[in-house]
A and B are shown apart, each in its own frame.
Chain A
Amino acid sequence: MSNASSTEPEIVYDKQGNPHEVIDFNNDYEGAKLGFWLFIFTEIMIFGAMFLVFGFYLFQFSPDFIAASEGLNRVLGGTNTFILLLSALSMGLSLVKLRNGKIDESKKFIWITIILATIFLTIKYFEWSHEIHIGIYPGSPTLDALSDGTKLFFGLYFTMTGLHGLHIIIGIGVMFWVLALINSGKITSTNFVVLENTALYWDLVHLVWVFVFPLFYLIY
Chain B
Amino acid sequence: MSNVHKSFYDETHTVFGHHKNKILQWIFSIDHKRIALLYLFVMFAFFAVAVSTALVMRLELFSPGQDFIDPDTYNQAFTLHGVIMIFLFIIPGIPAVLGNFLLPLQLGARDVSFPKINLLSWWLYMLGALLAVTSLFIGDGFADTGWTFYAPYSIKTDTNVIWALSAAFILGFASILTGINFVVTIHRLRAPGMGFFKMPLFVWSLYATSWIQILATPVVGISLIMVILERTFGIGIFDPTKGGDPVLLEHMFWIYSHPAVYLMILPAFGIASEIVPTFCRKPIFGYHAIAISSAMIAGVGYLVWGHHMYTSGESEMIKLIFSALTFFVAVPTGVKFFDWIATMYKASIDFKTPMLWTVGTFITFIIGGLTGLIVASVGVDIYLHDTYFVVAHFHYAILGGVVFLMFAGMHYWFPKITGKMYNEKHAARAFYTIFIGFNLLWFPMFIAGMLGMPRRYFDYLPEFEIWHKLATIGSWVFALGLIYMFYTLYRGWRYGELAGPNPWNATTLEWQIPSPPQLPNFGEIPYVDYMPYEYKNGEPVRHLDLSVKEDKPHE
A23 sits at the interface (CB 8 A):
yes
Of the A-B pairs whose beta carbons lie under 8 Å apart in the complex, a sample of 5, sorted by A's number, is A1-B111, A35-B184, A43-B218, A46-B219, A155-B235
Contact yes or no, B236 A155, CB < 8 A: yes
Inter-chain CA distance A175–B176, complex, in Å, is 23
Inter-chain CA distance A158–B233, complex, in Å, is 10
B321 sits at the interface (CB 8 A):
no
Contact yes or no, A25 B112, CB < 8 A: yes
Contact yes or no, B218 A151, CB < 8 A: no
Contact yes or no, A49 B252, CB < 8 A: yes
Contact yes or no, A46 B192, CB < 8 A: no
A1-B520, A15-B529 as given contacts; A21 in contact with B192, CB under 8 Å? yes
B370 sits at the interface (CB 8 A):
no
**Other-chain residue from A14, A53, A139 in contact with B233 (beta carbon distance below 8 A):** A139
B221 — which chain A residues lie within 8 A by C-beta?
46
Binds A, one of B240-248, B324-332, B432-440: B240-248
Inter-chain CA distance A51–B111, complex, in Å, is 38
* A21 vs chain B, min Cβ distance (A): 7
B356 sits at the interface (CB 8 A):
no
B-facing mask of A27-69, CB < 8 A → 1, else 0?
0101100110011011101101110010011001100000000
A130 sits at the interface (CB 8 A):
no
A171 sits at the interface (CB 8 A):
no
Give A residues with C-beta under 8 Å from B: 1, 3-4, 7, 10, 12-15, 20-23, 25, 28, 30-31, 34-35, 38-39, 41-43, 45-46, 48-50, 53, 56-57, 60-61, 137-139, 144, 147-149, 151-152, 155-156, 158-159, 163
A-facing mask of B210-243, CB < 8 A → 1, else 0?
0000111111011101100100011111000011
Give B residues with C-beta under 8 Å from A: 13, 109-115, 176, 179-181, 183-185, 187-189, 191-193, 214-219, 221-223, 225-226, 229, 233-237, 242-245, 248, 252, 520, 524-527, 529, 554-555
Minimum CB distance partner of B176 in chain A: A42
Contact yes or no, B188 A25, CB < 8 A: yes
* Additional 8 contacts, C-beta under 8 A, given A4-B555, A10-B554: A12-B191, A12-B527, A25-B110, A45-B216, A45-B219, A138-B235, A148-B242, A152-B244
Inter-chain CA distance A3–B243, complex, in Å, is 60
Minimum CB distance partner of B187 in chain A: A34
A12-B527, A14-B192, A23-B188 as given contacts; A1 in contact with B233, CB under 8 Å? no
Contact yes or no, A28 B215, CB < 8 A: no
Contact yes or no, A45 B215, CB < 8 A: yes
**Other-chain residue from A42, A49, A60, A139 in contact with B234 (beta carbon distance below 8 A):** A139
Contact yes or no, B222 A152, CB < 8 A: no
* B212 vs chain A, min Cβ distance (A): 12
Contact yes or no, B525 A151, CB < 8 A: no
B179 — which chain A residues lie within 8 A by C-beta?
38
A35-B114, A42-B217 as given contacts; A159 in contact with B226, CB under 8 Å? yes
Contact yes or no, B113 A25, CB < 8 A: yes
B217 — which chain A residues lie within 8 A by C-beta?
42
Minimum CB distance partner of B244 in chain A: A152
Inter-chain CA distance A179–B216, complex, in Å, is 34
A31-B188, A152-B243 as given contacts; A25 in contact with B235, CB under 8 Å? no
**Other-chain residue from B176, B219, B237, B527 in contact with A155 (beta carbon distance below 8 A):** B237
Contact yes or no, A7 B555, CB < 8 A: yes
